[in-house]
Structure 1
Amino acid sequence: MDKGTLPREFRRAARAGLHDGPTAGYCEGYVQANLMILPREYADDFEKFCRLNPRACPLLAVGDAGSWALPTLGDDLDVRTDVPRYTVYRNGKYSESLTDLTGIWREDLVVFALGCSFSFEHLLLRNGLPVRHIELGGSAPVFVSNIDNLQSGPFGGKLAVSMRPFNAAQTIKAIEITSRYPQVHGAPVHFGDPREIGIADVRQPDFHGLSVVRKGEFPVFWACGLTPQVAVMAAEIPFAIGHAAGHMLITDLSIDTLLS
């Protein structure tokens, strides 16, 4: 699929099973979203969790119970089919990977869409900054840090972070660019020695991604929208669905509308 495909066409391709890979680099200029889908009984606690941890969980939209539509993000959007791949959790453990949720959809499910850092990567590229995982044709590596999230009900756990390597001058520029977009994670939460945030080996991400740090570079970490999935695993709730790591919902929102 062409990287310049518009969001509606991208979602239709995912819906038809024509694209089940990562979304980094696709639909330049449009907001990509992380998903968390939970039974209604957990929705209030999870929404509060997002409000308490906005760097990792910037809320873009919350659906009605049983609804797969998010009209503020796309008028034809169907969260059951329009993400290339999903991860299902049962009792806090990985259960299965799916490309279509229609067979397991329930009337009590509530959809949360959260901003994703893939949304600003074209701005980094436009300003001459490398984005290593796009260069290598994959997805950003994600690690579980030692930073505690603020707790809400059963949801807590540790902060997940995505990594992009830069040299010192590039890091300063990346901070300047991304800090203007808090609804897609904003500025980095850490750069430099990964051991300071509990990451022993930057070559071994906890969620699959391409992690290559070259001479003269150091790792730069952003809060990541996989944090809710870490929280769901820690909470061991009976059932939950998230996007598969690196496989986002691409919305019709322009990144320019989120500029602060």
Structure 2
Amino acid sequence: MTVAPRTLTPRDVRLACRNGTWSEPSTAGVCAGFVQANLIILPAKYAADFRALCARNPVPCPLLGMTEPGNPMVPEHLAKDCDIRTDAPAYNVYKEGKLVATKGDILDEWQDDSVGALVGCSFSFEAALIAGGLTPRQIEISRNVPMYKTKVPLAAAGVFTGHMVVSMRPYPPSAIERVRDLTRPFVRAHGEPVAWGALGAAALGIDDPKGQRPDFGGVSEVHDGEVPVYWGCGVTPQLVVMDSKLPEVVMGHAPGHMLVLDMRDEEVCA
């Protein structure tokens, strides 16, 4: 008799990341029903500017919460016993706007004044898409979601300026209204799509109709009769860090390798 594997809890995932035993290509589809968060970790002197950036750009940067300066533990209303230095699968490290390392933890980079910001992720609405019979392609093919830089400028805030990043999932045009309806309530996880199809891609400055040349994440498969559909993406703050060229070391999650919280998906809905 085959025994079904135990369903992973958010804590299981975090501990596997902390212990170095997590080996999945992304966290897409993991712990359905629980919120996954993007991370950006920066010196406390930039925290107010970052909050303002999120307030002015809520679609790509929906802020869920921030840690206290020097304290790596996530606020307990978001997740218990969650250390942002170790509990995501992979981290990017930036210096003066350039990616200098991708690591399994950022214990060495953490500073006494470091502040972590947690930003909503579109993975949170994917369970609703699956339940609606619209499983995202990257889950079907076990890859990371493709993500693209766009030419859409953000509303600047203090030291931060830059452009929006979007994630992409392909669907037939006949499904787009249903896709919009299912994802619209998730306002703290990017909400409904910002663009779709050839005209939408052109407005964003993206020329990749088959999903084969993303700037971040994995390649997709856009089948005949489908069009790319684009959502705001929480990798946006990392592009902002690169564009802003902060002189200090700044850290973030590796795209697609999210921090899984104890917060439930319904908590990011309107």
| Identity rate, percent | 41
1:15-34 to structure 2, matched below 5 A, reads 15-21=18-24, 22-34=26-38
- Which of residues 107, 119, 122 is equivalent to 1:117? 122
- CA–CA distance in structure 2, aligned partners of residues 160 and 119 of structure 1: 17
Contact 1:81 1:100 in 2 (8 A): yes
Instruction: State the match for 1:195 in structure 2.
Output: 202
Amino acid in the other structure paired with 2:246: I
Instruction: State the match for 2:269 in structure 1.
Output: 259
Q: 4+ residue stretches of structure 1 with deviation over 3 A?
A: none
1:5-51: CA deviation from partner (whole Å, max 9, x where unpaired): 01011111111111143100100100000001011111111111011
Instruction: State the match for 1:178 in structure 2.
Output: 183
Contact 1:68 1:111 in 2 (8 A): yes
- Which of residues 242, 254, 257 is equivalent to 2:252? 242
Further displaced range: 37-46 or 158-167: 37-46
TM-score, normalised to structure 2, is 0.93
SS of 2:21 mapped into structure 1: coil
SS of 2:27 mapped into structure 1: coil
1:55 aligns with 2:59: yes
Amino acid in the other structure paired with 2:207: A
1:1-260 to structure 2, matched below 5 A, reads 4-21=7-24, 22-70=26-74, 71-193=76-198, 194-201=201-208, 202-238=211-247, 239-260=249-270
SS of 2:174 mapped into structure 1: helix
- CA–CA distance in structure 1, aligned partners of residues 217 and 120 of structure 2: 19
1:80-121: CA deviation from partner (whole Å, max 9, x where unpaired): 110000000000000100111112211111000011001111
SS of 2:77 mapped into structure 1: coil
Contact 2:238 2:252 in 1 (8 A): yes
SS of 2:230 mapped into structure 1: strand
Amino acid in the other structure paired with 1:252: D
Amino acid in the other structure paired with 2:133: G
SS of 1:220 mapped into structure 2: strand
Which blocks of at least 5 consecutive residues in structure 1 are unaligned?
none
SS of 1:153 mapped into structure 2: coil
Number of residue equivalences: 259
- CA–CA distance in structure 2, aligned partners of residues 8 and 139 of structure 1: 21
Q: 1:93 to 1:37 in 2, by over 3 A?
A: same
CA RMSD across the alignment: 1.2
- CA–CA distance in structure 2, aligned partners of residues 145 and 256 of structure 1: 29
Which blocks of at least 5 consecutive residues in structure 2 are unaligned?
none
SS of 1:160 mapped into structure 2: strand
Q: CA deviation at 1:169?
A: 2.3
